[in-house]
Amino acid sequence: MRCLKGVACAAALLLPVMAGAASNASAASNAGAVSDDVVRIAVINDRSGPYSDFNGEGSVVAARLAIADFGPTVLGHPIDLISGDHQNKPDVGIGLARRWMDTDGVDMMVDFGNSAVSLAVQDLTQGKRVAIHVASASDALFGAKCSPTGFLWNYDTTAIANAIGKSAVEAGGESWYFITADYAFGHAMEKQLTTVIEKAGGKVLGHVRHPVGNTDFSSFLLQAQASGAKMVAVLNAGEDTTNTIKQAAEFGLVDAGQKLAGTTFYILNVHGLGLEAAQGLQVVTPFYWDRNDASREFTRRWREAMNTDRAPTHPQAGVYSAVLAYLRAIEAAGTDEAMAVSARMKQLPVDDFYGENSRIREDGRLMKDMFLVEVKSPADSTGPWDYYKVLAQMPADEIIRPMSEGGCPFVGKAAAAGS
């Protein structure tokens, strides 16, 4: 399915009601419980810019697989999947979301991939529509800017900082310099990583910020070199990360003794860089395609649907999990009303190849373990896309910010009201 830039794909995947998917009695008992007699899901992400390979059509395909596995109907009603391109612009994202809500009857939006867009749409959808942020990592989404109908499904700035910053300082990387994408995610990542570094006894010597989709990082890298910092943190994503690390190698940062720390890092970054350039880099990931039989089976199906031999990214895998959890909650709630569905999502376990034995907190944060992985050397890789060695599984409770420290304004109010 392909969409015009900035335009939703109208009825791009209207799945027919199939015999056996729901009994006639079930359908009758839930008549009127589903708005517009259809559950409409919208994938919103970058479909034409620097993050399109990391989310884009691959996330739409993942959502389609989740719908097929669930149903393909819910409460006896069809499921409609549409998509749109936010172009990494909050105003475009807001425009899409508002039209989907006011005109197209969208019930849930998923993926995003740009924290500024996520934060803007989260404010718009508060209590009215479900918003599941898979590829956006700002911890404000389950903190000060949380929503009773908003969820964060992937890693976040605090979790990344806790997993990477502390271990690097303890290993001798006490001085840091940041090369940061100039939007909400980058700013939040700077703040969280600074807190972790300073608490561990390290020091941040400076930072420089760049626009999303930048291609020439030479001036930023020269400033990082001049800082003399032992660690240079790359606080961006997608092609920006690939270009930063590739150009850092050309400038000889690592050869001169500085180390690079990747924060938002994807398996496609490794592919773009090559194992020779990326080997030894340690990063945090929620998903690796070759970790077990279940992840390999999802990858096989996703590859077949995408007609590609590449591996899915962790946001694309996360979209599958998020859509499946949403549909299960509708079934359990007996309605697609946003507040009711959100409440059920927080009661039900999330247990699939992506969110094994996971749960959702009151603030909308999926409590999912992460994996510390190391990029293999060319000699250690045994085949195509065999890029990671899993070093450790990091429990969610140890790296994700405690709910008591997030500042989510509605947390605890429901319990207090009932006491």
Say if residue 242 is in the same domain as residue 345. Answer: no
Say if residue 241 is in the same domain as residue 374. Answer: yes
Say if residue 55 is in the same domain as residue 129. Answer: yes
Half-sphere exposure of 133 (CA within 13 A, CB side): 32
Q: Is 416 helix (H, G, I), strand (E, B) or coil?
A: helix
Say if residue 230 is in the same domain as residue 379. Answer: yes
Q: Is 278 helix (H, G, I), strand (E, B) or coil?
A: helix
CB-neighbour burial class of residue 255 (10 A; exposed 0-12, middle 13-18, buried 19+): exposed
Say if residue 243 is in the same domain as residue 378. Answer: yes
* 409 domain-assigned: no
**Euclidean distance between CA atoms 10 and 155, whole angstroms:** 31
Say if residue 296 is in the same domain as residue 278. Answer: no
Q: Is the peptide bond before 72 cis (omega within 30 degrees of 0)?
A: yes
Say if residue 200 is in the same domain as residue 311. Answer: no
Say if residue 165 is in the same domain as residue 266. Answer: yes
Domain boundary among 343, 363, 383: 363
* 400 domain-assigned: no
Say if residue 357 is in the same domain as residue 386. Answer: no
* 403 domain-assigned: no
Per-residue pLDDT of the chain (419 residues; tens, 9 = 90+): 334 333 334 333 333 333 333 333 343 344 459 999 999 999 999 999 988 999 999 999 999 999 999 988 999 999 999 999 999 999 999 999 999 999 999 999 999 999 999 999 999 999 999 999 999 989 999 999 999 999 999 999 889 888 888 878 887 889 999 999 998 888 988 998 999 999 999 999 999 999 999 999 999 999 999 999 999 999 998 789 889 988 998 888 888 989 888 888 899 989 989 998 888 787 889 999 999 999 999 999 999 999 999 999 999 999 999 999 999 999 999 999 999 999 999 999 999 999 999 999 999 999 999 998 888 999 999 999 999 999 888 899 989 999 999 999 999 765 444 33
* 1 domain-assigned: no
Indicate the Cα dihedral angle 409, 358, 66, 34, nearest 10°. -40
* 6 domain-assigned: no
Q: Which domain holds residue 241?
A: 158-285+370-394
Token output for 214: 């930048």
Token output for 374: 């190391």
**Euclidean distance between CA atoms 367 and 257, whole angstroms:** 37
**pTM for this model (two decimals):** 0.83
**Euclidean distance between CA atoms 113 and 315, whole angstroms:** 8
Q: Can you give the CATH number for the domain in which 163 is found?
A: 3.40.50.2300
**Euclidean distance between CA atoms 122 and 84, whole angstroms:** 16
Say if residue 38 is in the same domain as residue 169. Answer: no
* 200 domain-assigned: yes
Say if residue 20 is in the same domain as residue 136. Answer: yes
End-to-end CA distance of the chain: 50
**Euclidean distance between CA atoms 300 and 84, whole angstroms:** 26
Token output for 215: 């291609």
* 107 domain-assigned: yes
Cβ count within 10 A of residue 337: 18
Say if residue 30 is in the same domain as residue 141. Answer: yes
* 114 domain-assigned: yes
Q: State the total domains in the chain.
A: 2
